[in-house]
Structure 1
Amino acid sequence: MNKFAVVVATLLLVGVADAAKILVLMPVPAKSHFGAYAPLFEELARRGHEVTVASPFPRKTPLANYTDIVLEDTFPARDSKEFNTFEMREASFPMMMYFIFKICSESCEKVLQLPNMQKLINSKDLEFDLVLYEPFFTECTYGLLHKFKAPKIQLVPNSIIPWSGDPVGNPSTLSYIPILVSDTGSLDFMGRFSNFMQMSFLVLFRAFIVVPTMDSIMRKYFPDPTIPSIDELETDTAFLFLHSHPVLNNPRPLTPNTIELGALHVKEKGKLPQDLQKFLDDAPHGVIYFSLGSNVRSVDMPEAKRNSFIQAFSKLKQKVLWKWEADSLPGQPKNVRLGKWLPQHDILAHPNVKLFITHGGLMSTQEATYFGIPLVAVPIMADQKVNALRAENSGYAIVLDVHNITEESVSWALNQVLNEPRYRENAKRLSSIITDQPQKPLEKAVFWVEYAIRHGGAPHLRSAALKLNPLQYYFLDVIAVLALIGLAVIVLTTLFVRAAIKTQRQMETPKDRVSRNIGGGVHKKQWYGRIVSDNKPSRL
């Protein structure tokens, strides 16, 4: 018994010694962003790490070692005219990006004014061994990255966003992978042209609008003059976590400290509320699940488009479960059930769900793929269109343009996916791929978090590309030198040839000059004012 007690005490001491203090900074009031990594925060706490989470999404039930710093939702009201996502779909790409940035930058400044954030900013005794942070228009909070001076892990709730690959030196893949917000999945000339132009806009937009604005806000609330630039703070990132998978987001070259964690948030099937369980169980023809996610609301849908779905649903033998954010739906068919909030993960895991009508958000797409559910996608904004196009190209989805929502188009898409076996077969095939991994995404994420703690941010995995400026990285300095050398060779060769010709002419004898002047059909030679013909001589 004494030996057993010693062993247990030793193990407990080892666990305490390995425990770390981890700060999570996720101030964006986007539930899908937070939900992508929430299981990681919880698992780290269960493993004995002290996890402090600054976000608008506190846990509903306490968890040991897990502390919430509650940040109120600083986005415009979801039911306001300003935040109608269906109207954003009408805007051009630059206007949409500017609109999103405007909302996010205003939100970021409001976050820094919150009492709980002020306590964190002005804390004197807090220390952390690691900071996990999100880079989506949250740069004004980066003063905290400097304040705590701990290794950092960037959490991207998607595949690489246009600027998130830079902090760890990931190579550009513009020529064959659409950027996150691209409106095309094509690799033909026009697709690549569109990709290049959109990326060029985003690079300039970030450099001349996003970073200066966020830097100004940051320095207003973090007056420390030693705070480096936003670019420097990001470049010191130890790891980049991506909520992506090669099947869903295209294979691409990644640095060793870039970790793909697609479907990290997907868990084993949970228990549904009794009434929902009965609704799904008692569906002999199956159920269609309809949700546009947490940021796109069905109630904001224009009336004509809403009626198109209602009329199409009324003709189906299947039941429809619709995430609808109001108490009632005018003209609601008998086979349609509404819910302001629905446990999407557990619904998609039910065997009677035959089809998922979605906005194409990555979390929704991953969950559907994980459980082998085919899609009808209606993308509205941000990454949704490129996610939907990938699903369509993979053969398990039909994409409906939001401008072409009619009763006929909706009915056609639903009947195609429900009645053509290939859609479900492709969904099941991709499900078998995404679930076939040597290590579960959550276990993988925990390993690399603890690896970063053990090895002080793992600087040995950092790419040498981070030491190069753009001129050096793209060989522009080498190309410039080679161009100068080539130009010098051309100039010197030209001068040498001209000098050689001039010298040769200066060394010519009168006889050489005569032999050089040959022309026409008659051989003529000039000799001191006389033209000598091959026929007969004559005087000038």
Structure 2
Amino acid sequence: MSLLELCLAVLILYTTNIDCARILGVYATPSISHQVVFRALSLELVNRGHEVVVITPDPAFRNKIAPENLTEIDIGQSYGLLQDLLFTGEVATTLKRGVIMDLISVTKLKTNPLVKLGLEMLLYPEVKRLIADKSQKFDLVLVEALSYSALMFSKIYNAPAILFSSFYGTPDNFFTVGAVSRHPVLHPHFFRYKFRDLSITEKIKEFKNEWDLYKYDVVCEQLENEFLKSEFGVDAPTVHELKDYVELLFVNAHPIFDGNRPVPPGVVYLGALHLKPTKPLPADLQAYLDGSTRGVIYVSLGTNVRPSMMDQDLLDAFLKAFEALPYDIMWKFDGDSLERTPKNFRIQKWFPQRDLLAIDAELPMVGVPFLGDQWFNVNKYVELGIGIEVDSRTLTADKLVKAAQKVIGDDSFRKNISKLHAVMRDQPDKPLDRAVWWTEYVLRHGRSKSLLGTSALMSWSEYLMMDLFVIIVAGVTVAVLVATAALYYVVSILMYVNNNVKRKQA
């Protein structure tokens, strides 16, 4: 080997050693709609040569051979816990029409089920073994943004953290990185279900809802603090202290859908991060679509909505509406069968939705929100003119039929979604490439705090300048008291003089 070849080989080895890092991904939520987002980034980081360890309930290589630089810790047992949390016990008593978990249902719960899942994840034997292994070292921790308890890994490994949301960021996520976080009108909490055209009475009600959700976040954080101290000792840091490890917030949404919120560079929007090029449909589905002479309506109510649990009146309303529509219906339905299956129906537990349709397919929508951020999403459909909302709490067959007929018959919906599609795709880089670049930015610079807003983790009293407010109020109060006393003194003198004049005249 020549000297030049030797130097080149050493340079390549040196560069590889510098650029490749050990990354831990902690994603506790047992829902494939969340996990496909996290998985996309994990696999791309693996492809870039990083060594990645992922805690997930949905391993990409559960029954396959994983790449050498990927280790997946399977916590799939959490799916059973999710079912218990969402569909039994305390939560089940709050569901409306069998499946609807609205704001009232959420705030009645003692804690956020997803926060509970994050805490339980730290107790799984596989995870405890990782924590107990003192030989483990990581350069970066990627943490699902729904539960802060996993930031304990950043404390353990003294590594910077990136909060990663598979959909919108919560108000507290934005607060953590110093972005505009809470505004009941401009940037409402996505758990609400009334967002636009608010009357004064409704604004007051929604302000109360925002306050209730804020208090709910406080209660959840207190629960996390208690758990951390019980599991890691009395000296364990609080959630507020753990947030100091956060360098970035990844949000899997387009800024348009987040109201173009004012954010610092520490918020990176990654809308459509997980979308892959479409593939040919399975032969039976393609034949079904090709054979339909009436057109097809695709129905999916979300990964975590179980149509089989609907109260009979709600299920009947859907069935009656679909029978009345002159189209074939493809319904993603979690049950094995329906008691009454209309002739124009095809039900399956899973469809390749990405290959069938989406905003990417430029199709207008009828949104029927049931839980979580679905009310916020559907509000955006209406706001952007790409769909119609039918409130699940008051849904009837007639309302659903009229909504479907309107979005199909009114060409403005299709035109609006085509414009939106063009705008959302017009970006200088691909979302996945952007996510990798910013991940490696944090690896290069560590805990620099260079991207956070100045209000990051600032107390509300500081943010609202309450100290100055108190001084101003105190000053105004003193001024009013002094002015009142002076006025009283002047009036007293004038009255005294006046009385003396009257006595002399008398």
- TM-score normalized by the length of structure 1: 0.83
Residue 206 of structure 1, CA deviation: 2.3
Q: Where do 1:440-455 residues align within 5 Å?
A: 440-455=430-445
One-letter code of the match for 2:328? K
Is the partner of 1:465 in helix, strand or coil? coil
Tell me how far apart the structure 2 counterparts of residues 373 and 12 of structure 1 sit (CA, whole Å). 50
Find out whether 1:251 has 2:260 as its counterpart. Answer: yes
Distance change >3 Å, CA 72–CA 304, structure 1 → 2? same
Q: Where do 1:92-491 residues align within 5 Å?
A: 93-99=103-109, 101=111, 103-104=113-114, 106-136=116-146, 138-171=147-180, 172-186=182-196, 188=198, 189-207=200-218, 209-223=219-233, 225-348=234-357, 368-466=358-456, 468-491=458-481
Residue 335 of structure 1, CA deviation: 2.8
- Structure 1 segments (4+ residues) deviating >4 Å: 1-9, 78-92, 493-506
Query: Does the CA contact (< 8 Å) of 1:181 and 1:383 recur in 2?
Result: yes
1:430-482 CA-partner distances (Å, limit 9, x unpaired):
11111111111111111111101101133222222237432221011111112
Which segment is superposed worse, 144-153 or 398-407? 398-407
Which segment is superposed worse, 107-116 or 490-499? 490-499
Tell me how far apart the structure 2 counterparts of residues 462 and 385 of structure 1 sit (CA, whole Å). 29
Find out whether 1:66 has 2:65 as its counterpart. Answer: no
Tell me how far apart the structure 1 counterparts of residues 297 and 235 of structure 2 sit (CA, whole Å). 56
Tell me how far apart the structure 1 counterparts of residues 68 and 483 of structure 2 sit (CA, whole Å). 78
1:377-403 CA-partner distances (Å, limit 9, x unpaired):
110112111210110121111111223
Query: Does the CA contact (< 8 Å) of 2:455 and 2:463 recur in 1?
Result: yes
Distance change >3 Å, CA 100–CA 73, structure 1 → 2? farther
Which segment is superposed worse, 446-455 or 73-82? 73-82
1:324-354 CA-partner distances (Å, limit 9, x unpaired):
2222222223332221122211111xxxxxx
Distance change >3 Å, CA 331–CA 473, structure 1 → 2? same
Tell me how far apart the structure 1 counterparts of residues 372 and 193 of structure 2 sit (CA, whole Å). 9
Distance change >3 Å, CA 182–CA 289, structure 1 → 2? same
Tell me how far apart the structure 1 counterparts of residues 354 and 411 of structure 2 sit (CA, whole Å). 23
One-letter code of the match for 1:240? L
Distance change >3 Å, CA 190–CA 234, structure 1 → 2? farther
One-letter code of the match for 2:60? R
Bigger-Rg structure (1/2): 1
Which segment is superposed worse, 111-120 or 146-155? 111-120
Aligned residue in 2 for 1:24: 25
Query: Does the CA contact (< 8 Å) of 2:39 and 2:60 recur in 1?
Result: no
Aligned residue in 2 for 1:37: 38
Tell me how far apart the structure 2 counterparts of residues 333 and 100 of structure 1 sit (CA, whole Å). 41
Structure 2: gaps spanning 5 or more residues: none
Is the partner of 2:288 in helix, strand or coil? helix
Q: CA RMSD in A?
A: 2.9
Identity of aligned residues (%): 27
Which segment is superposed worse, 115-124 or 320-329? 320-329
Is the partner of 1:457 in helix, strand or coil? coil
Tell me how far apart the structure 1 counterparts of residues 11 and 281 of structure 2 sit (CA, whole Å). 42
Aligned residue in 1 for 2:57: 56
Aligned length: 494
Distance change >3 Å, CA 284–CA 505, structure 1 → 2? closer
Is the partner of 1:113 in helix, strand or coil? coil
Query: Does the CA contact (< 8 Å) of 1:167 and 1:236 recur in 2?
Result: no
Tell me how far apart the structure 1 counterparts of residues 110 and 53 of structure 2 sit (CA, whole Å). 28
Distance change >3 Å, CA 263–CA 169, structure 1 → 2? same
Is the partner of 2:226 in helix, strand or coil? helix
Residue from 77, 89, 97 that aligns with 2:83: 77
Is the partner of 2:173 in helix, strand or coil? coil
Distance change >3 Å, CA 419–CA 494, structure 1 → 2? closer
Tell me how far apart the structure 1 counterparts of residues 282 and 387 of structure 2 sit (CA, whole Å). 29
One-letter code of the match for 1:17? I
Which segment is superposed worse, 251-260 or 170-179? 170-179
One-letter code of the match for 1:71? I
One-letter code of the match for 1:203? Y
Query: Does the CA contact (< 8 Å) of 2:42 and 2:52 recur in 1?
Result: yes
Higher RCO, 1 vs 2 (CA within 8 Å, ≥6 residues apart): 2
1:239-295 CA-partner distances (Å, limit 9, x unpaired):
111122122221111122011111112222123322223323333443211111211
Query: Does the CA contact (< 8 Å) of 2:99 and 2:309 recur in 1?
Result: no
One-letter code of the match for 1:29? P
Which segment is superposed worse, 381-390 or 482-491? 482-491
Tell me how far apart the structure 1 counterparts of residues 478 and 96 of structure 2 sit (CA, whole Å). 59
1:313-333 CA-partner distances (Å, limit 9, x unpaired):
334443322112222222223
Which segment is superposed worse, 188-197 or 114-123? 188-197
Query: Does the CA contact (< 8 Å) of 2:178 and 2:457 recur in 1?
Result: no
Distance change >3 Å, CA 287–CA 502, structure 1 → 2? closer
Is the partner of 1:272 in helix, strand or coil? coil
